[in-house]
Amino acid sequence: MKLELSGHAGLRLWKQTLKNIVLNKGPDLTTRQISVLLAVYLETGEHTVRGLAAYIDVSKPVITRCVDSLSILGLVKRVRDEKDRRSVFIQRTVKGAVFLTDFAEMIEKSNEEAKE
């Protein structure tokens, strides 16, 4: 579905989405955390701290802190690479998938509300 986001329509959609997130009383994620979460769930392949740092163009410690927070919330998990025990993959969780499904529905709801 293509959205018409000319002028300030995109800002109105984002404003309404943020309002709905606050009202929903779910986890209060930062923009950086949402960016990492979306990268893990929407980009194919295995994800590492190094790869996510390069993808978002921030330092590895920034991603480590992000992943720490997302892990505590159960939205992602760390899994040690069986082939190279020094490597750790950042993987999806059921809770994270449910969160993003709800988040997507919230954006759709916000889009309808923003049109009113």
**29-79: pLDDT as tens digits:** 999 999 999 999 999 999 999 999 999 999 999 999 999 999 999 999 999
Question: Above 60 in pLDDT, residue 99?
Answer: yes
Question: Above 60 in pLDDT, residue 1?
Answer: no
Q: Residue 13's pLDDT band (boundaries 50, 70, 90)?
A: confident
Q: What are phi and psi of 26, to 5 degrees?
A: -85, -170
Domain ranges of the chain: 29-103
Range with lowest mean pLDDT among 20-24, 73-77, 102-106: 20-24
The rounded distance, in Å, linking the Cα atoms of 50 and 2 is 33
| Architecture of the domain whose range is 29-103 | Orthogonal Bundle (1.10)
Helix (H, G, I), strand (E, B) or coil at 77: strand
Q: Global pTM? A: 0.84
What local confidence, expressed as pLDDT, does residue 87 receive? 82
Buried b (16+ CB within 10 A) or exposed e, 42-77: eeeeebbbebbbeebeeeeebbeebbebbeebebbe
How many residues does this entry show for the chain? 116
Residues above pLDDT 90, as percent of the chain: 55
Q: What is the mean pLDDT of residues 19-23?
A: 85
